[in-house]
A = this chain, B = another copy of it.
Amino acid sequence: MLSLTGHNYIGGERRAAGTVEHKSLDASSGEALPYTFIQATPEEVDAAAQAAAAAYPIYRNLSAVRRAEFLEAIADEIDALGDDFVALVCRETALPAARIQGERGRTSGQMRLFAKVLRRGDFYGARIDRALPDRQPLPRPDIRQYQIGVGPVAVFGASNFPLAFSTAGGDTASALAAGCPVVFKAHSGHMATAECVADAVIRAAEKTGMPKGVFNMIFGGGVGELLVKHPAILAVGFTGSLKGGRALCDMAAARPQPIPVFAEMSSVNPVIVLPGALKARGATVAKELAGSVVMGCGQFCTNPGLVIGIRSAEFSEFVAGLADAMGAQPAQTMLNAGTLRSYAGGVAQLKGHAKVTHLAGNEQAGNQAQPQLFKADVSMLLEGDHLLQEEVFGPTTIVVEVADSAELTHALQSMHGQLTATLIAEREDLTAFRDLLPLLEVKAGRVLLNGYPTGVEVCDSMVHGGPYPATSDARGTSVGTLAIHRFLRPVCYQNYPDEVLPQALQNANPLGIQRLVDGVHSRDALS
């Protein structure tokens, strides 16, 4: 058994003045694990935000290389979390060990990728317009712009990724990379995991000489609201439900000083199965799709929750195959009791709707999630029925049959914003349905071809975002290196002598970064 204190992480110290206790649960059995977590008091929430604010001027002014070394040290510490840690995460989440091992590598890899971004230096967005003293009618002063971290960031971990979207996950990594200290609100579903990871982050911070308060973590219910309303917090990262995310957005917008919230919330991730693909490989697609729907018990933001096809014999055959495949899927344990309750509720709503037919799946009962397949009338999409627009988090998906390609276009136009949209198509389909792509581009952050959206690659070009309600701000992504830009803002210097400027903007270009100089990209030193 690991030794955990259950205390909050505040400015490099552990504090637990509160009296409200939370227990971590074994996700499979529901039994309490032998760890107790003490809810942060309002004073401790304030202290955590203040600690982050105190660290901000120091941390943001460290060189990007120093911040990169911190992220790399976090990565090393996370990689070093051993088998007992993996076993603990598995107990708290009911996720299999192989998945947790993979997620551990993804989490440390993410830290190292952001370290690479810091060393590459393009996040500085350095732009230089040199003085034109002889310009008529007025001279132009020397102006130089770069990007700085916005300030302390509050991060809310996700239930479904105890590592990659939690304590040291993508939001934390991108905020720390941007030069923003973090106050992390631990998810109630994996508090013991959070403590182990927070310890890893603190060890890395100490090894690399980071200021106390660069990373803080609080436990408890209701503390997130205090955090988002705290004047020292200047941005928020969140992954979770539409209801929870929207509540945070509303709080943030109502503050005396409103702040941006990047909430990744609800997406049904439509998969459009086109005629050529159905003809060529409908049976295979049905099997692959079923596998994607039930993978990880369907507990992914990008789980395919809607499958759309044009009426035909091939589509009917495909749906029958999908029903067979879904019917054969075993029940799985979900992340926690609340998730199972929501899933059962969502399934019951679908079953009770007059325009929805149940195609496959055992009765939803007991303490596991039963995979389900439904078919909904296209009118529900066309009329904007919320049941088809809000994700049912778990191993279920809904088939919608459209009459023809015109109705397909209308159905897609009726959809709300999505994280992903997928075409299953042959070359001939791409030609015949070429007008779909610009439409999907407007609806989603990521558009896939002949793949399934559940794998989200961590790389420079990934977009894990999209129009509302997929996220609260389509201009951000919470996976991939572009995520750093959510927490940066531009500043410019006018008429300053070279030696006073930030290194990124100095004539000699000591960082060797690419800059936009008088409208031209260059790595050259300036005379």
Contacts and interface: CB of A to CB of B under 8 A. Distances in A.
Contact of A448 (B445, B460, B474, B495): B495
A494 B253 contact: no
Given A446-B494, A500-B430, A129 B521 contact: no
A60 B447 CA distance: 17
Contacts of A19: none
Interface stretch (A24-32, A75-83, A141-149, A364-372): A141-149
A404 interface: no
Contacts of A70: none
Interface string A119-155: 0101001011100000001101101110010110000
Contact of A477 (B61, B430, B468, B490): B490
B468 A140 contact: no
A33 to B, nearest CB: 30
Given A459-B140, A482-B145, A492-B461, A469 B257 contact: yes
Interface stretch (A291-299, A308-316, A340-348, A436-444): A436-444
A482 B143 CA distance: 14
Most chain B CB inside 10 Å of its own CB: which residue of A254, A427, A438? A438
Contacts of A151: 442
Interface stretch (A41-49, A323-331, A450-458): A450-458
The number of times this chain is found in the oligomer is 2
A267 interface: no
A57 interface: yes
Nearest to A431: B500
A497 interface: yes
Contacts of A461: 127-129, 143-145, 492, 516
A103 interface: no
30 contacts: A57-B442, A102-B137, A122-B516, A125-B482, A129-B459, A129-B460, A129-B461, A140-B457, A143-B461, A145-B461, A253-B254, A257-B417, A257-B468, A258-B472, A444-B491, A445-B490, A446-B492, A446-B493, A446-B494, A447-B492, A448-B494, A448-B495, A449-B493, A451-B495, A460-B516, A462-B492, A465-B490, A475-B488, A475-B490, A521-B521
Interface of A: 57, 61, 102, 116, 120, 122, 125, 127-129, 137-138, 140-141, 143-145, 148, 150-151, 249-250, 253-254, 257-258, 260, 416-417, 427, 430, 434, 437-439, 441-442, 444-451, 455, 457, 459-463, 465, 467-469, 472-475, 477, 480, 482, 488-497, 500, 514, 516, 519, 521
